Structure 1
Amino acid sequence: MTISGNRKLTSKIELPDEDFEPMPEGDKQRRNLSYTTEALRLWFEKQQNIYVSGNLFIRYEEDLAEKRVSPDLFVVFGMSNEDRVSYTIGKDGGKAPDFVLEVTSKGTVTKDRKENPLIYRDLGVKEYFQYDPSGEYLKPTSLQGVRLENAKYVPIAALTLPDGTLSLHSEVLGLDLHLYPDKKFRFFDPISNQILRSYAEAEQARYQAELERSFEQQARREAEAIAAQERNEKERLAAYLISLGVNLDEIP
């Protein structure tokens, strides 16, 4: 199959933006779907020319409704981050996603491993990753990635960290993808040495930071109050001794 990522076709029919088919997924899949999109949106939110989305149709043949894919997460560099109903390559400057991540489940493992790589390769997707939260369907490891080189996908080398975390580096994102021993997945910035957070995690971190600042301020106020009280007591004692005729300079 040969697909051109740069062709601009004239739309001939009205295309649906939903297929209205139920998408059964477990809690692990659902949590990770939310995390992956939220984490990258937060990470790139200040950059107007990076589009991050997921579970959104990518159309690569405008007049053929079946010529579409819906990655769990995809990132397009050099594209505005405005909201879209679907992403049509022909209408969006002929620009295919640079990065794609699929959260694999029992119902999608065959498609994620056999069909989607062919589509993404022909579209020119630079990096394609797969993650299996259950650890049951994606072998030999639950996190795998490939990078486009000379029109072919080649595996991205995985590194096992001292704590057992599996780490794969995304050149496209400039981030590491971490799979922890408990199968938990997180994006990781190797420069700032920090884990990318979801909206809820970021809000919790802000709340915790504000709480800690509040405790520090309260502790500082209490310490200052104690110091002031001690100074006042010393001044009162000194005044009392002076009233008794005691020369304070003679007191050792």
Structure 2
Amino acid sequence: MTLIPELETDVVYPDSDGRPMAESDFQREPLIYAVNALRRWFHAREDIYVSGNILLYYEQGNPRAAVAPDVLVVLGAPSHNRRSYKLWEEPKAPDFVIEITSRATVSEDQGNKRGLYAYLGVSEYWQYDPTGDYLKPALAGFRLIDRNYWPIPVRSDAEGTLVGVSEVLGLMLRLDGNGFHFADAETGQLLLSYDELEEARLEAERALREAEQRIAALEAQSRERE
């Protein structure tokens, strides 16, 4: 009896693993922020792909060989949208991954995923614990050297802000009382969320109105003296 190999066209790679995007608001909000902020930062680059919570398949013909990074960045991959990320159809594995750790994921993030990402060749692997319950400190990074991950220095400044530098992205990862942010490694300029951008816009409009009112008042006083 001759066995006929299963055709690749018969293999189904689901778009979802059926698991929720995040365990709670504590994990969901930084996940959404990170994806949106990085997409805006690289918006002019058609050769950089940014996504989050997307299934990454790493073994052709085996739909069970999959992982869903919270946030991933691939330098050198087209920026178009995808249903899933199949390594054999793409130029390379992600260069950057960050996992938003929770009670349900902390063991996997520090164990199986860390080993898998090293095996796949992910250059930088970061972990962030938004509640501070599972990681000490709450921000940690690792750089792939000779197929093993080595810690990326994360320092605490005089104000208690945790800062690490991603060489892959050219960005700082910052954690302070205002939460988690990316920042330009050269200028220190924060990559703001949509809500923060809107708040800054409204504040600028208020400041402009107040300046216009002060100018109008000064002009009125000047006319009264004449």
Give 3-state SS (helix, strand or coil) of 1:147's partner. strand
Match of 1:3 in 2: none
- Deviation of 1:179 after TM superposition, in Å, equals 2.1
For 2:178 and 2:126, locate their aligned partners in 1 and report how far apart those are by CA, in whole Å. 15
For 1:114 and 1:98, locate their aligned partners in 2 and report how far apart those are by CA, in whole Å. 19
Matches within 5 A, 1:87-126: 87-93=85-91, 95-126=92-123
For 1:158 and 1:106, locate their aligned partners in 2 and report how far apart those are by CA, in whole Å. 22
Calculate percent identity across the aligned residue pairs. 43
Q: TM-score, normalised by structure 2?
A: 0.89
- Deviation of 1:178 after TM superposition, in Å, equals 1.4
Match of 2:124 in 1: 127
1:110-156 deviation per Cα after TM superposition (whole angstroms, max 9, x unaligned): 11000011111111110000011111112x32111100112211111
Unaligned runs of 5+ in 1: 1-8, 234-252
For 2:182 and 2:147, locate their aligned partners in 1 and report how far apart those are by CA, in whole Å. 26
Highest CA radius of gyration, 1 or 2? 1
Match of 1:198 in 2: 193
For 2:44 and 2:199, locate their aligned partners in 1 and report how far apart those are by CA, in whole Å. 20
- In structure 2, the CA distance between the partners of 1:200 and 1:152, relative to structure 1 (3 Å rule), is same
- Deviation of 1:217 after TM superposition, in Å, equals 2.8
Which of the numbers 185, 201, 208 marks the counterpart of 2:203? 208
**Higher-RCO chain (CA-CA 8 Å, sequence separation at least 6):** 1
Give 3-state SS (helix, strand or coil) of 1:97's partner. coil
- Deviation of 1:26 after TM superposition, in Å, equals 2.1
Residue-pair matches, total = 220
1:11-64 deviation per Cα after TM superposition (whole angstroms, max 9, x unaligned): 541211012234661221122112211221222222222211101111112321
Q: TM-score, normalised by structure 1?
A: 0.80
For 1:17 and 1:65, locate their aligned partners in 2 and report how far apart those are by CA, in whole Å. 10
Following TM superposition, the consecutive aligned residue runs of length 4 or more in structure 1 with deviations greater than 6 angstroms are none
Unaligned runs of 5+ in 2: 1-6
Matches within 5 A, 1:1-252: 12-22=10-20, 25-93=23-91, 95-138=92-135, 140-180=136-176, 182=177, 184-230=179-225, 233=226
Letter in 2 for 1:15: Y
For 1:132 and 1:225, locate their aligned partners in 2 and report how far apart those are by CA, in whole Å. 56
